[in-house]
Structure 1
Amino acid sequence: MSRFAVAGATGRLGRHVVDVLTERGHEVVPVARATGVDIITGEGLTEALTGVEVIVDVASWHSSDQEAATEFFRTSAHNLQEAGRAAGVGRIAVASIIGVDKATAGFIAAKKVHEELLLSGPIPVRILRAAQFHEFVGQLLDWQQGDVAHVPALPTQLVACRTVAEALVDLATDQDAPTPGTPIPEIAGPRREILAEAARLLGTRRGVEVVPVDGSGIPDAEIAAEGGFLPGPHATLAGPTFREWLDTRS
């Protein structure tokens, strides 16, 4: 049994990572403000990482503002690397986003900085880039708080949080070091979809009319429209599809 710290343990993805690690017999230290550990102020972090072999970093910023998200990731990356080094942590596994290397603006560009800062630290880092989560579709509808929601008709390959968590834990627990030159692993859902069409499936169940729109005003919408945030040929594709996932929640 190994001891893992999960940064962002109470978040959308973090809860699943904790579950997967626990189910596989590992000891989990939840790192979140709710558990008295703050990766931004550093409160309780050194103590939480004592005896930890691997940090799984799935902590995230709560809005799409690039400047605020970048500052969050800059601070969290520094604190996790420094506190982890002091505690003797062996490696960090982090969840990122497919296409992050192409991003020029918005939250995804902030994640690009996050990757770079983590990789520049003393602890070896393994990255898993994921497609947009199934759970994001509901968040899009929630943000608009009405009977009509305008959702971009952009291509995506939605994936379940649980599926991402399983792949991230696989990466975090793999004892073999990645082969130099190997592409950064990606995880995505089993089929390409249009975000607005997926939102319409959920909207029908919620009584919300979904109106497809172009990506105007969305950071890097042109890149997204051209498939820049879709998985590459080396990606792992895994279910459930969005519809299958939705059916388990009705």
Structure 2
Amino acid sequence: MAVAGGTGVLGARIVEAVRNHGATPVVIARSQGVDLTTGAGLDRALDGVDVVVDASNVTTLRTKPAIAFFEAACGQLLAAEQRAGVRHHLAVSIVGCDRVDVPYYLGKRRQEELVRAGGMPWTIVRATQFHEFAGQLLERARGPVALVPKMLTQPVAAHQLAELLVRVALGEPQGLAPDVGGPEQHQLPDLARRVLDRDGSRRRVLAVPVPGRTGRQIGDGGLLTGEGATILDETFDTWLGVGRQTGA
């Protein structure tokens, strides 16, 4: 099983889960000599591969770079899979990418379009933000006050998601699978404050409303799982390690 983006937050956990299921992981990443956007090294990496899980991503807040990355990476990956005779392509996507107009999500929409039309047997699994997301935002913010967008989220444990993805990938293609999310709903700034509290930091979090139509889409629950979703049970507090079990 090849894992595109296999060194990232989710990808590394998928690689571990592949081993736990008795399969052999192949990591697709620049550090392994494979460039998704150009296709360099892809044919060699996919030689003998049966299943591909695409957990690749790009760090950008702009629409054009997001779309350009997913068009290039997904296009190269699907073409190489056809040459290699891969039987199942699983793309990891984001809950709400079809209804919330965040620039990165527009890139994910384009990725989903390519997967659906790419000629490979496919599954798309949309998941909510990971428990790690609040901490990642804090790492990017500098200074004593961290600006965190006011977002109603339903965070999920990345390691539990990874196990689910491997089970799905080893099965038959499903098309669009049920959404996957965590058991609770939280405001993202509240999660950031709890991360800082755990770390003993004196930094402050300022909740910043998301303006315009995107803010309304998020406020209407655009980032929450839909009907029939798969809910994984690890709470944010369990992940955080503080021993509290609070509700939404």
Instruction: Tell me the TM-score range normalised by the shorter chain.
Output: over 0.9
Distance 1:87 1:248 in 2: 47
CA positional deviation for 1:212: 2.0
For residue 213 of structure 1, what is the aligned residue in structure 2? Answer: 208
- Alignment of structure 1 residues 89-238 onto 2, 5 Å: 89-175=86-172, 177-178=173-174, 184-206=177-199, 207=201, 208-216=203-211, 220-238=214-232
Distance 1:64 1:5 in 2: 28
1:95 aligned counterpart, secondary structure = strand
Distance 1:196 1:103 in 2: 19
CA positional deviation for 1:105: 4.0
% identical equivalent positions: 38
1:205 aligned counterpart, secondary structure = helix
**TM-score, normalised via structure 1 length:** 0.91
Distance 1:242 1:90 in 2: 35
CA RMSD of aligned residues (A): 1.7
CA positional deviation for 1:248: 7.2
CA positional deviation for 1:122: 1.5
Asked if structure 1 preserves the Cα contact closer than 8 Å seen for 2:144 and 2:204, the reply is yes
Asked if structure 2 preserves the Cα contact closer than 8 Å seen for 1:103 and 1:112, the reply is no
Q: Does 1:49 align with 2:46?
A: yes
Asked if structure 2 preserves the Cα contact closer than 8 Å seen for 1:156 and 1:194, the reply is yes
Aligned length: 241
1:24-76 deviations in Å (ceiling 9; x for gaps): 11011111000111111111100110111111100101222211011000011
Asked if structure 2 preserves the Cα contact closer than 8 Å seen for 1:100 and 1:108, the reply is yes
1:94 aligned counterpart, secondary structure = strand
**TM-score, normalised via structure 2 length:** 0.92
1:162-199 deviations in Å (ceiling 9; x for gaps): 12211211210113x43x8xx63211011111111111
Instruction: Identify which of 31, 41, 52 aligns with 1:34.
Output: 31
For residue 20 of structure 2, what is the aligned residue in structure 1? Answer: 23
